[in-house]
C-alpha cells in the first residue's frame, strides 16, 4: 500500500512551484520578455567569484579524498568554520560539536522539527509563513498552530502566541527577515516572545524550542537582525547559503544548537538522530570545502535594494499598497479584491505571475519575488497599471 499522505503531497505541488512551472511553460510559448515572473525566490545575483575560484581549485585535488563521505554532521573543519563565524559575528562561544551541516535550510528545518516534536505535539507558526513549514511539521507527526502576525506591522503578536501555547507546544518557528512579508522582528518584539516562552515553560514544566529559520539573515536594507540565541537560550538556528551566497541548487546550510540552553547535549543528540533517521547525513563534500573558504563573504544585496526601490516606487505611483520590506527579497502587496486567488488569476491574464497569500496562510495579499532581472521589473509596470485599471474602470 502506498502512503496516502505522500501521494497527496506529490500530486499537489505547492502554489509557488506550480506558478514557477507555469512561468517556464508560458515563456516558451510567448517569449521570455513577455512574462513577468515574480513567483519564486531564486537569487538573481550570481554567486561570488571567490566561490567559483574555490571550486576550480578544488577540482585539482585528489578526487578520491575530495568526493568521499564526510562524517554525518559534516567535516570538523567545516563545522569549526561555522562555529568561528558565529563567534566572530555574534560574540557567542559556539562549539563545532553543536553544528550540523545540512542540505539547505529545508533539511535543517525538517531535522529540527523531527528532533523536537513528538507525534501529537503542536508547533506554532506565525502567519503568513513559508509554505513548506506545514509539510515538515506534519512529517514529524505534529500539528501546525497558526497565529497571525500583527497587521500592518507584521511583527509577532506575542500576546496571541502566548495564548496559543499549551502543554503540547514543542516549538515555534520564527523566520526573520521574513518570507513572504520581508519583516524583521525587532529586538523588543523578540524579547517579549522570549519572556512569554519562558513563562509558559515554567507554567507547564515543558521545554519549548524556538526554531530560528534564517536563510535571509544577511539580506537586509539597514535594520538590525537580532541574533536569537542571545535572546532565548533554547534556540535552534537553521541557516542556509542558498540566498546569501546565491547557491540554492547546491543545498548547503547548517543547524546551530545554541550552547546557552540547559539541555544542549541531549538536544544535539536529537538533531544528529533526526538527521540520521531522515537520511540527511553528510551534505555535499565539495560544498563543505567551499564553506570553509567562503563563509565570511558578504552578501551582495545592492541589486535587491535597487529592485526594491524600482518596484515599490512603481507600485506606489499606480496606487498599490504593500508592506515596506526590511529584508529578504519579497514584497507583500495588497490584492485589489478580498479573494487573493482570484486576484492572482487576474494578474496572470496580464502575464504577471504573483503568488496568492492563501498559500502562505494569509488572506488578501500576493507575494512578489523581486530577485529577478531589473528590466523585468521595469517592463512589468504597464501590465501592473493595466491590472490596476481593470479594477478601477467605473
Cα angle 372, 374, 376 (rounded to 5 degrees) comes to 75
Q: Does 351 bind ligand PLP (CB under 6 A)?
A: no
Sheet holding 365-369, edge to edge: 322-323, 330-334, 365-369, 355-356
CB nearer to ligand PLP: pick between 254 and 322: 254
CB nearer to ligand PLP: pick between 131 and 385: 131
- Burial (Cβ within 10 Å: 0-12, 13-18, ≥19) of residue 56: exposed
Q: Does 361 bind ligand PLP (CB under 6 A)?
A: no
Residue from 240, 244, 268, 307 in contact with ligand PLP (CB under 6 A): 240
For residue 236, list its beta bridge partners: 211, 257
Residue from 242, 258, 268, 299 in contact with ligand PLP (CB under 6 A): 242
Helix (H) or strand (E) holding 147: strand 143-148
Residue from 43, 96, 128, 248 in contact with ligand PLP (CB under 6 A): 248
Binding mask 6-45 for ligand PLP (x = CB under 6 A): -----------------------------------x----
Q: CB 199 → ligand PLP: shortest distance, Å?
A: 27
Binding mask 88-107 for ligand PLP (x = CB under 6 A): ----------------xxx-
Q: Does 225 bind ligand PLP (CB under 6 A)?
A: no
Q: CB 110 → ligand PLP: shortest distance, Å?
A: 9
* Binding residue count for ligand PLP, defined by CB under 6 A: 13
Binding mask 321-350 for ligand PLP (x = CB under 6 A): ------------------------------
Contact 382, 46 (CB under 8 A): no
Q: Which long-range contacts (CB under 8 A, 24 or more apart) does 18-21 make?
A: 19/353, 19/355, 20/353
CA proximity to 194, closest of 227, 217, 219: 227
CB nearer to ligand PLP: pick between 110 and 315: 110
DSSP characters over 317-386: HHT--EE--SBTTEEEEE-SSS-HHHHHHHHHHTTEE-EEGGGGT-SSEEEEE--S-HHHHHHHHHHHHH
C-alpha to C-alpha distance for 44 and 371, rounded to whole angstroms: 5
Q: Does 275 bind ligand PLP (CB under 6 A)?
A: no
* Sign of the dihedral defined by the CA atoms of residues 118, 119, 125, 131, in that order: positive
CA proximity to 212, closest of 240, 192, 244: 240
Binding mask 149-188 for ligand PLP (x = CB under 6 A): --------------------------x---x---------
C-alpha to C-alpha distance for 97 and 256, rounded to whole angstroms: 9
Which residues ranging from 105 to 124 are in contact with ligand PLP (CB under 6 A)?
105-106
Residue from 253, 275, 359, 362 in contact with ligand PLP (CB under 6 A): 253
Q: How far is CA 114 from the centre of its chain?
A: 18
| Residue the block writes with cell 519583516 | 183
Binding mask 189-218 for ligand PLP (x = CB under 6 A): ------------------------x-x---
List interacting residues with ligand PLP (CB under 6 A): 41, 104-106, 130, 175, 179, 213, 215, 240, 242, 248, 253
Amino acid at each position: 500500500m502506498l502512503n496516502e499522505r505522500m501521494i497527496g503531497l506529490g500530486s499537489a505541488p505547492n502554489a509557488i512551484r506550480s506558478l514557477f512551472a507555469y512561468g517556464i511553460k508560458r515563456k516558451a510559448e510567448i517569449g521570455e520578455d513577455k512574462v513577468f515572473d515574480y513567483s519564486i525566490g531564486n537569487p538573481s545575483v550570481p554567486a561570488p567569484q571567490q566561490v567559483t575560484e574555490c571550486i576550480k581549485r578544488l577540482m585539482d585535488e585528489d578526487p578520491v579524498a575530495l568526493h568521499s563521505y564526510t562524517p554525518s554532521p559534516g567535516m570538523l573543519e567545516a563545522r569549526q568554520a561555522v562555529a568561528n563565524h558565529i563567534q566572530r559575528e555574534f560574540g557567542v562561544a559556539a562549539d563545532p560539536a553543536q553544528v550540523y551541516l545540512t542540505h539547505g535550510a529545508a533539511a535543517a528545518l525538517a531535522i529540527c522539527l523531527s528532533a523536537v516534536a513528538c507525534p501529537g505535539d503542536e508547533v506554532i507558526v506565525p502567519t503568513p509563513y513559508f509554505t513548506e513549514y506545514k509539510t515538515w511539521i506534519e512529517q514529524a507527526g505534529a500539528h501546525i498552530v497558526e497565529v497571525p502576525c500583527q497587521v500592518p506591522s507584521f511583527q509577532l503578536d506575542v500576546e496571541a502566541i502566548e495564548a496559543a501555547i499549551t502543554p503540547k507546544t514543542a516549538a515555534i518557528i520564527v523566520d526573520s527577515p521574513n518570507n513572504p512579508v520581508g519583516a524583521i522582528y525587532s529586538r523588543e518584539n523578540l524579547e517579549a516572545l522570549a519572556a512569554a516562552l519562558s513563562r509558559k515553560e515554567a507554567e507547564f514544566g515543558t521545554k519549548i524550542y524556538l526554531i530560528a529559520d534564517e536563510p535571509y539573515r544577511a539580506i537586509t536594507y539597514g535594520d538590525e537582525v537580532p541574533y536569537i540565541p542571545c535572546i532565548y537560550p533554547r534556540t535552534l538556528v537553521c541557516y542556509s547559503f542558498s540566498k546569501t551566497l546565491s547557491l540554492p541548487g547546491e543545498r548547503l546550510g547548517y543547524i546551530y544548537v545554541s550552547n546557552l540552553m540547559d539541555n544542549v547535549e541531549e538536544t544535539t543528540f536529537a538533531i544528529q538522530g533526526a538527521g540520521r533517521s531522515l537520511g540527511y547525513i553528510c551534505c555535499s563534500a565539495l560544498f563543505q570545502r567551499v564553506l570553509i573558504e567562503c563563509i565570511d563573504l558578504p552578501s551582495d544585496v545592492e541589486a535587491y535594494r535597487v529592485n526594491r526601490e524600482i518596484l515599490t516606487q512603481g507600485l506606489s505611483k499606480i496606487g498599490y499598497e504593500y508592506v515596506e520590506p526590511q529584508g529578504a527579497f519579497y514584497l507583500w502587496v495588497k490584492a485589489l479584491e478580498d479573494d487573493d486567488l482570484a486576484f492572482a488569476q487576474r494578474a496572470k491574464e496580464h502575464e504577471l505571475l504573483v503568488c496568492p497569500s492563501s498559500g502562505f496562510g494569509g488572506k488578501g495579499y500576493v507575494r512578489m519575488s523581486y530577485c529577478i532581472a531589473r528590466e523585468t521589473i521595469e517592463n512589468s509596470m504597464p501590465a501592473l497599471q493595466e491590472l490596476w485599471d481593470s479594477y478601477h474602470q467605473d
